[in-house]
């Protein structure tokens, strides 16, 4: 049982590494496709008495990579499109 579990774990790690390398290759071949997503930025400021003040900072365009995993330091577009609120 222990040997079988180790093989399955190793296979999952290898497949994840191959998926990441494949995503990186496709991203480089397509010359780094980058998109832009409009994101709402909010600022949470701590106040006295364990209270918080929430300030809307505006809508900001954020660069994102059109890939499965984050590339070139950008977040992925599919994640930002579903989570359009960022807290500072």
Mean pLDDT of the 31-35 span: 92
Which segments of 30-88 does DSSP mark as H helices, in order?
77-82
Q: Is the pLDDT of residue 1 over 90?
A: no
Give me the phi and psi of 38, to 5 degrees please.
-80, 125
Work out the pLDDT band at 88, boundaries 50, 70, 90. Answer: confident
Mean residue pLDDT across the chain:
95
Q: Coil, strand, or helix at residue 44?
A: strand
Residue 67 burial (CB < 10 Å; 0-12/13-18/19+)? buried
Reported as a single tens digit per residue, the pLDDT across 35-75 is 999 999 999 999 999 999 999 999 999 999 999 999 999 99
């Amino acid at each position: 049982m222990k040997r079988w579990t180790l093989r399955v774990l190793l296979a999952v790690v290898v497949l994840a590494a191959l998926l990441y390398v494949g995503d990186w290759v496709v991203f480089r071949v397509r010359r780094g496709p980058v998109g832009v997503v409009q994101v709402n930025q909010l600022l949470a400021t701590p106040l006295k008495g364990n209270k918080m003040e929430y300030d809307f900072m505006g809508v900001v365009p954020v660069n994102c990579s059109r890939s499965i995993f984050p590339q070139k330091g950008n977040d992925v577009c599919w994640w930002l499109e579903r989570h359009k609120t960022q807290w500072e």
